[in-house]
Amino acid sequence: MKKLSHFVLKPLWIMLWSLFILSNPALAHKASDSYLRLDVQGQQITGQWDIALRDIDFAMGLDSNGNGDITWGELRQRQSELSAWALARLTLARGGACSLGVEQLQVDEHTDGHYAVLQLRGQCPSASADLQLAYHLMFEVDALHRGLLRLNLDGSTQTAVLAPESATQNFKAQGGSRLAQFGQYLVEGIWHIWIGFDHILFLLSLLLPAVLVFQHPGWRAVAHFGQALREVLMVVTAFTAAHSITLTLAALRLVELPSRLVESTIALSVVLAAANNLKPVVAHRRWLMAFGFGLIHGFGFASVLADLGLPQGALVLSLLGFNLGVEVGQLAIVAAFLPLAFWLRHSAFYRRGVFVGGSALTLCLAAVWLVERAFNLKLL
Amino acid sequence: MKPPLPAAKHILRQARVIALCLATLALPLSAPAAPRTPSADAEVLERLPLRPGDTTAREFLQLRQALAKTPADADVANTLAQAYFDQAMAKGDPRYIGYAEAVITPFARTMTADLLLVRGQLRQYRHQFEAALDDFASALRLDPQLAQAHAWRGAIFLVQANYPAAQQSCQALLALERRALAGACNGLLLAYTGQLQAAQSSLQQALTESPAPESQLWLHTRLAEVAQWRGQTAQAEQHFKAALRTGLDDGYLLAAWSDFLLDQQRPAEVLALLASWESSDGLLLRLAEAETLLKLPVAARHVQAIADRFEAARLRGDVTHRAEEARFELRLRGNLQAALALAQANYTVQHEPRDARILLEAALAAKDPGAAQAAVHWLRSSGFQDPRLLVLAQALKPKTP
């Protein structure tokens, strides 16, 4: 009896032990670091600066009620003071002093606890000069503090450890490898069509019926591959032409639309395209739909490009690169989709599962987006 | 080119909407760490290491206020810096080393003997041994009676395996009639040069002469190690327990006692011992070793946590953890070549028995006897007597038919 209880108890104890550990993720003791990520594209600066709450507390006192815990409220209330404190200890210059501001305060977790995340944005006088950086955060109270910098200067990335003895650094401007810049924006374009679910779903909703023809009262499979290819080409070309026009207009700041309107209309376009598959209204000239809504999708791409920042020196080239990237990404999707759809076009799997089921799912998704974007809600 | 963060967030959000449409309950995937905006003001983000009622917190606050009032007062600065250093040693929290250094920095041109003594300690903590030796030497020029400076110099010479120089430091302590410090210094010197029995009596003598709990803790820890090298397991355990009974926090003691338990195949006791010490890298390493031996699922998570921490240290250019990193690669990740390279790099700076041990173990595991030549040479020339190390060195010898 005694033996048995001993035998049973020990594993139980060990199990409880691991539960205890799992529920208490302990944090490391580590020397103080801040993580500074800066993207300097021409005159535009964007960045993110993660500073440990413990460090902020040590330097300027965050625990206002003195209970030993730092809450989001205590941090949030000190946002402007925190921004002033941090920004006074980071200066950037590119052909003269750059402006720098905190756009948003968030939090994140690193190995040694929670950090305040300052989303930075700024502007420099020059788009092509060398970049000077001076960093003095925490040094007056913690001589072992280090700023871990990851700088993307016009497309080339470098890292540096900023210490009291290396607080001021000069970064050489690459001086415009135009080809590298073009390539960089090309990749960005490909990447953004692939992660832009709404653009992909819109395109796919229009392409799903390309291997079918609508003849009242239902859909029939096309006879020849050429028929499907022609339909796809028309849709894709119309979509491309339309969004290229508006992307260019928006990127050059010739036309500007409020982003909520743009994003909501994009969601609406997906709803309509998917609904059209379930209950066809436009059955034959889908390229018109592609063109019409393509215009609004172009504004969507432009907002992505605005976030990236366009180098003033190579504006047209970068724009061209980005747009081409979008087309390449799009063509890759088409190339994967079309042969498969053509091959499967007679099957129930395609007709009911992919075409009807996929369209219904897309409709539902896009409807959620539409409500979210139009009413500025977060349903999830 | 790395996609910017908003893109990742975008994907994540879309994935969540899809999950809603499919009416699944929740995303099985855990979200990657990304900046977020907490929804409630009351959300506790961080628990500060010093709680409000803590006497240490009050002491630091008073000293900081005093220094703010008289910023040029070297004595106040020295007291605060030393208090920070002691806190770093007790809790294994290196931020206090940085705080201490910042307190001293304004006095760079007007260093007193006491400030030099603190700066030397901070430098040795960062393994800047030559700079630390210089500071202690400068302190002694200003105040030849500063016994602690001799003690620290002795300790560094022992780490560097410079035994004649260590002996001079021990003698200087004796000349100052600091018998307890001299006994401790000599005890270690004797132990590292293989005269284990004499080392025990020297340390034991020091034990009777220094009743302060801090000294008792230190001497019992060292006596435990010497007993271990002599194979006197029961005696070693008694000394460790005596050291633990002082009730003081000490990272070194916990590490040494855990290593003893791991060597004795008693990993379950390490779990209990290090329950609240995960924040210290060195102690988490021992904890993860124990968990691995017990095949606990939590081990994998701790191994990952240690890897993350070493990576974070590497990013800031910190190489003071190489001995422990070597042990981590060898015992927990099985990266034999990485372990050997780290152990070798560590051995260029530190030559204590534990440094030799990890180098010998890593060389043996990597089947590269030549890599451990420096440690084998030290074993031979010092006469150090730990049977465990001698067995390792023997195993590394080329087999002659």
pLDDT tens profile A241-288: 998 899 888 888 788 888 888 888 999 999 999 988 888 877 778 888
Here the contacts of A275-284 (C-beta below 8 Å, separation 24 or greater) are A275/A359, A275/A363, A276/A205, A277/A205, A277/A208, A277/A209, A277/A355, A277/A356, A277/A359, A278/A356, A278/A359, A278/A360, A278/A363, A280/A209, A280/A214, A283/A214, A284/A214
CB contact (8 A) between residue B294 and residue A142: no
Express each pLDDT in A45-67 by its tens digit. 999 999 999 999 999 988 888 78
- State whether residue B279 sits within 8 Å of chain A by CB: yes
Q: Domain for residue B178, yes or no? A: yes
CB contact (8 A) between residue A380 and residue B271: no
d(CA A221, CA A354): 14
For A309, the enclosing helix (H) or strand (E) is none
Q: Domain for residue B200, yes or no? A: yes
Using CB atoms, pick whichever of A76, A111, A188 lies closest to residue B312: A111
For chain B, give the mean pLDDT: 88
Amino acid at A346: H
- How far CA A176 is from CA of A182, A184, A188, B3, B111, in Å, comes to 10, 12, 18, 21, 50
Query: What's the CATH number where B123 sits?
Result: 1.25.40.10
d(CA B162, CA B146): 21
Say if residue B121 is in the same domain as residue B172. Answer: no
Cβ contacts below 8 Å, chain A against chain B, sum to 186
Are A297 and A244 spatial neighbours (Cβ–Cβ below 8 Å)? Answer: no
Q: Domain for residue B369, yes or no? A: no
> Is pLDDT at A1 greater than 80 in this prediction?
no
Provide the Cα torsion B170, B138, B87, A30; round to 10°: -110
* Domain with B102 in it: 54-144
> Is pLDDT at B68 greater than 60 in this prediction?
yes
What pLDDT does residue A319 have? 83
- State whether residue B237 sits within 8 Å of chain A by CB: no
Query: Of B214, B245, B276, which residue sits at a domain end?
Result: B245
Average pLDDT over residues B202-226: 92
Percent of chain B at pLDDT exceeding 70: 91
Say if residue B241 is in the same domain as residue B178. Answer: yes
> Could you give the number of structural domains in chain B?
2
- State whether residue A160 sits within 8 Å of chain B by CB: no
> Is pLDDT at A345 greater than 90 in this prediction?
no
Q: Shortest CA distance to A337 belongs to which of A204, A245, A201? A: A204
Q: Which residue of B has its CA nearest to A379?
A: B17
Say if residue B169 is in the same domain as residue B212. Answer: yes
CB contact (8 A) between residue A141 and residue B10: no
Query: Helix, strand or coil for residue B71?
Result: coil
Using CB atoms, pick whichever of A10, A28, A69 lies closest to residue B281: A28
Are B88 and B100 spatial neighbours (Cβ–Cβ below 8 Å)? Answer: yes
Q: Which residues of A touch B97 (CB under 8 A)?
A: 31, 144
* Pairing relationship of beta strands A131-135 and A90-93 according to DSSP bridges: antiparallel
Average pLDDT over residues A4-26: 33
Chain B 306-335, residues with CB within 8 Å of chain A CB atoms: 308-309, 312-313, 315-318
Using CB atoms, pick whichever of A119, A195, A380 lies closest to residue B20: A380
Average pLDDT over residues B25-44: 65
For chain A, give the mean pLDDT: 83
Q: Domain for residue B18, yes or no? A: no
Q: Which one is predicted more confidently, A20 or B304?
A: B304
Q: Domain for residue B182, yes or no? A: yes
- State whether residue B164 sits within 8 Å of chain A by CB: no
Query: Of B89, B116, B144, which residue sits at a domain end?
Result: B144
Q: Which residues of B touch A53 (CB under 8 A)?
A: 45-46
Instruction: Give which of A106, A120, A144 to mutate to test B binding, by max B Cβ within 10 Å.
Output: A144
Say if residue B76 is in the same domain as residue B131. Answer: yes
Chain A 45-84, residues with CB within 8 Å of chain B CB atoms: 48, 50, 53-55, 57-58, 63, 66-73, 75-76
Chain B 8-37, residues with CB within 8 Å of chain A CB atoms: 10-11, 13-14, 16-22, 33-37
Provide the Cα torsion B123, B124, B130, B134; round to 10°: 70
- State whether residue A30 sits within 8 Å of chain B by CB: yes
* Pairing relationship of beta strands A90-93 and B44-47 according to DSSP bridges: unpaired
CB contact (8 A) between residue B7 and residue A195: yes
Query: Of B116, B144, B172, which residue sits at a domain end?
Result: B144
Say if residue B170 is in the same domain as residue B130. Answer: no
Q: Domain for residue B256, yes or no? A: no
Confidence of residue B11 (pLDDT cuts 50, 70, 90): low
Instruction: Give which of B45, B67, B89, B281 to mutate to test A binding, by max A Cβ within 10 Å.
Output: B45
d(CA B32, CA B29): 9
> Is pLDDT at B168 greater than 50 in this prediction?
yes
Express each pLDDT in B117-140 by its tens digit. 999 999 998 889 999 999 999 999
Say if residue B184 is in the same domain as residue B128. Answer: no
Which of the 8 DSSP states describes residue B399?
P
Are A221 and A209 spatial neighbours (Cβ–Cβ below 8 Å)? Answer: no
Percent of chain B at pLDDT exceeding 90: 71
| This prediction's pTM | 0.66
CB contact (8 A) between residue A145 and residue B98: yes
Q: Shortest CA distance to A138 belongs to which of A89, A102, A208? A: A89
Q: Domain for residue B399, yes or no? A: no
DSSP notation for B356-384: HHHHHHHHHHTT-GGGGHHHHHHHHHH--
CB contact (8 A) between residue A144 and residue B98: yes
CB contact (8 A) between residue B44 and residue A76: no
Interface pTM, i.e. ipTM: 0.77
Say if residue B133 is in the same domain as residue B208. Answer: no
Query: Helix, strand or coil for residue B188?
Result: helix
Average pLDDT over residues A190-209: 84
> Is pLDDT at B153 greater than 90 in this prediction?
yes
